[in-house]
Amino acid sequence: MQINRLLEMVYILFEKKKITASELADYFEVSQRTIYRDVESLSAAGIPVYAEKGKGGGIRLLDNYVIKKSLLSEKEQVNLLASLQGMNVLNGPEVDPVLRKLATLFEKKDADWIEVDFSHWGGDSDEREKFNVLKNAILEKNRIAFDYFSATGEKTGRTIEPLKLLFKGQSWYVYGFCLSKEALRFFKVSRIRQLRQLSEAFSRTLPEGPVFEKPEISASQIRLILRIDASMAFRIYDEFDPAAITKNQDGSFVVASRLPEDGWVYGYILSYGDAAEVLEPQWLREAIKKKLEDGLKKYL
């Protein structure tokens, strides 16, 4: 513990320039005598820290003292801080002290370059906590249990060994070994309820290679052509490759793309309301027409 306290003390002195022994004692929850012994240990190690007694006194570092940092170039320092900031997004309190210390050491004040909130707009603290549970379970190799709702609304209880958190197609997934199915599966995070981390540990490791190329997530795809109104431009460029988009003279768009051939595609097309029209294939156009007619009957 002493070496950690000594290192922390040096960084505090870098930040504050001067601090009293009483303040350091309160911060580290030790006696002032211990703090003065630490000052002596730092001095003996060649770090120019000294104590000034009397009014206005305190513990300080020699002016212009800088820890040797030439082992890393300027670019390497920036890249290291950027990487740590990215880790800080996922790991929070565990990484923040290291990030703060290195930013001070490298004399960089602009390390805070990214912020991520995993919840959707309007999401509450319980939803954000879901990602903390998933992260901890993956890192600590503990099983998790939850209620899961399928695309058709069927609820099942699942226990899995979580291996990885992934983002694809504007959705988050947790990838892991499902004990009830005895196979690796993807679970859409937004469909998970009553999530809890269990005390049951597991030793399973993540398979090599990109997991989204595995057959569990794949489905046959269809090539479709949509005409979409100009009012939906904000969605079109978010959701389709620009090479698949043709803009018409009236401001509308024609989009040619490939999408999974399952129940999801109907909901996706209908999410555009009356702003989208299926041009091809004909069978999908007829299927969407029937769904709209059936929906209209509910309002007659």
Per-residue pLDDT of 55-79, as tens digits, reads 777 888 876 665 544 445 656 556 5
State the pTM of this model.
0.48
- Cα–Cα dist 16/225, whole Å: 62
How do strand 276-280 and strand 142-149 relate by DSSP bridges?
unpaired
Q: How far apart are CA 186 and CA 81, in angstroms?
A: 32
pLDDT at 113: 46
Neighbour order of strands in the sheet with 18-19: 18-19, 58-61, 49-52
Interior/surface letters 234-268, b for 16+ CB within 10 angstroms, e for the rest: eebeeebeeebbeeeeeebbebbbebeeeeebeee
Task: Show the CA angle centred on residue 93, arms to residues 97 and 142, nearest 5°.
Answer: 135
Instruction: Tell me the two tokens of residue 254.
Output: 């024609």
Which residues of the chain are modeled with pLDDT < 70? 1-4, 45, 63-126, 151, 169-170, 212-219
pLDDT digits over 89-127, tens only?
Answer: 555 555 455 556 566 655 555 555 445 555 555 555 667
Q: Say if CB 263 and CB 151 are below 8 A apart.
A: yes
